[in-house]
Structure 1
Amino acid sequence: MADNMVPGESEVVFVDFWANLFGMRVLIALRELGMSFEYIEEDLSIRKKSDLVLRMNPVYRMVPILIHRGHPICNSINILEYIDEVWGHRHAEAGGTQLLPADPLERASARFWADFVDHKVFNTEMRLFKSKGDDEKEAAKGELIRQLRQLEGALGDKNFFSGDEFGFLDIVVIPLSSMFRAYEQQGTFDLEVECPKLMRWEKRCKERESVRSTLPDEEEVYRMHKKWYGIE
């Protein structure tokens, strides 16, 4: 045990909130690789942050946080890459695949689309939920559909974003599906009509135990996000 580990603390600890889409990525990755870890719930429904979060992420004071042998790793994309670098090779040696593609161009593409989700799709989601008036809502809805179609274009006719194997970009994107019904209700549109390939991909992902055991009830997630966005 490293000197800076708290007595009784597991080697791998994950701190998150159940409705946090970013944290769902990390849970899926840990479960996909068959990792043993301790989960600590951080209640984001209250304003006061726990001492653990303030100590482990004093810069942003946010979850998700992965703690490995007492050392914190923050930001979901950063955590996914860390998990893959530290434990992905063991999974590959056991007959699985690493999370990120082996090919440098494919890795760059996966990172590009991950950045697109974090800096485009989530921002548009916020606009949709916070829109005032029909015109503003219609503009946000149209932009969100366009962005989801762009993701669908990156998927193409493949089973998963990297081909036949579930991997990094699938893990980044699939937590969004917890908000798909919310998008439809908030924007009054049908994703089965707008993005049929993406919906078939969603069903394939949810056949995996790592995904199925992680994603929470969509209506509960919707209610929590309405509370966060102040529309209840």
Structure 2
Amino acid sequence: MATTCGGVAVIDFWANGFGMRIRIALEEKGVAYQYKEEDLNNPQRSRLVLEMNPVRKSVPILVHEGRPVCDSVAILEYIDEIWKDGFPLLLPKDPYERATARFWTHFIDNKFFPTQATFLKSKGEAKQEAEEELISELKQLEDVLGDKPYFGGEKFGFFDVAFIPFSSMFYGYESHGEFKLEEECPKISAWVKRCMERPSVSKILPDSVKMYELHKIWYGVE
């Protein structure tokens, strides 16, 4: 049987925005972990992934004391619950604010991320429509941010962790489209810069040019 080290391990691929969330969260908590790279360019999943996530055969996977936790949102909540006492909390204490953070994370995963894929893959009129939709969704998120330093308010929180990995594709949006994010969404742009000042974020987020070059291959961008 394939094994991970004792304690905490993260199985992921360097360019997986969903997995970046997990590493950022662990960095914020100050939890030591081992990182195991899974090459998603190889269609054959490793033995470790097949053992730890036999249902979906996907990453990210958090392995804690030998037990796997799958799905990035479930992992984030698990991390926040396990490392709670004496650690910074990601989810707000207020029930409404917790529900709001979960709602917008769901929006990223099920609306924004598919729009990104459509934008990168489409051509002609469909591409223009997808670009307009992408900008519209970014503006919605900017409205949620408002004048707060972070989506979590004064504190870097759950939704900040969930969304910031996708900023590594903002360069790709601008290169592929015909807009400047700082002009369309100045508050989002300022938020990204603010987040990048955090060691947990700057350490994990990959080079944006490298990210776009990979996604061009994945989505067949010419």
- On whether the aligned pair clears a TM of 0.5, the verdict is yes
User: How has the CA–CA distance of structure 1 residues 227 and 191 changed in structure 2, closer, same or farther, with 3 Å as cutoff?
Assistant: same
Offset of residue 171 of structure 1: 0.3
**1:104-123 alignment runs, 5 A limit:** 104-123=95-114
The alignment's TM-score, normalised by the length of structure 2, stands at 0.97
Would the aligned equivalents of 1:5 and 1:69 in 2 still touch at CA under 8 Å?
no
Offset of residue 5 of structure 1: 9.8
CA distance in 2, matches of 1:60, 1:227: 23
User: How has the CA–CA distance of structure 1 residues 18 and 5 changed in structure 2, closer, same or farther, with 3 Å as cutoff?
Assistant: closer
CA distance in 1, matches of 2:47, 2:2: 15
Amino acid in structure 1 at the alignment position of 2:73: I
Q: 129, 141, 166: which one pairs with 1:139?
A: 129
- The match for 2:5 is 9
- The match for 2:138 is 148
The alignment's TM-score, normalised by the length of structure 1, stands at 0.93
Would the aligned equivalents of 1:10 and 1:38 in 2 still touch at CA under 8 Å?
no
CA distance in 2, matches of 1:173, 1:128: 18
3-state SS, counterpart of residue 138 of structure 2? helix
Q: 153, 161, 184: which one pairs with 1:171?
A: 161
- The match for 1:94 is none
Would the aligned equivalents of 1:88 and 1:99 in 2 still touch at CA under 8 Å?
no
CA distance in 2, matches of 1:43, 1:127: 23
Would the aligned equivalents of 2:19 and 2:60 in 1 still touch at CA under 8 Å?
yes
- The match for 1:20 is 16
Is 2:31 the counterpart of 1:41? no
**1:1-232 alignment runs, 5 A limit:** 6=3, 9-91=5-87, 97-133=88-124, 135-231=125-221
3-state SS, counterpart of residue 84 of structure 2? helix
- Give identity over the alignment, percent: 54
Question: Aligned Cα RMSD in Å?
Answer: 1.4
Would the aligned equivalents of 1:65 and 1:73 in 2 still touch at CA under 8 Å?
yes
3-state SS, counterpart of residue 123 of structure 1? helix
| Structure 2 unaligned regions, length at least 5 | none
- Alignment coverage as a number of residue pairs: 222
Would the aligned equivalents of 2:19 and 2:59 in 1 still touch at CA under 8 Å?
yes
Amino acid in structure 2 at the alignment position of 1:142: E
CA distance in 1, matches of 2:85, 2:213: 39
Offset of residue 68 of structure 1: 0.6
Would the aligned equivalents of 1:160 and 1:201 in 2 still touch at CA under 8 Å?
yes
3-state SS, counterpart of residue 11 of structure 2? strand
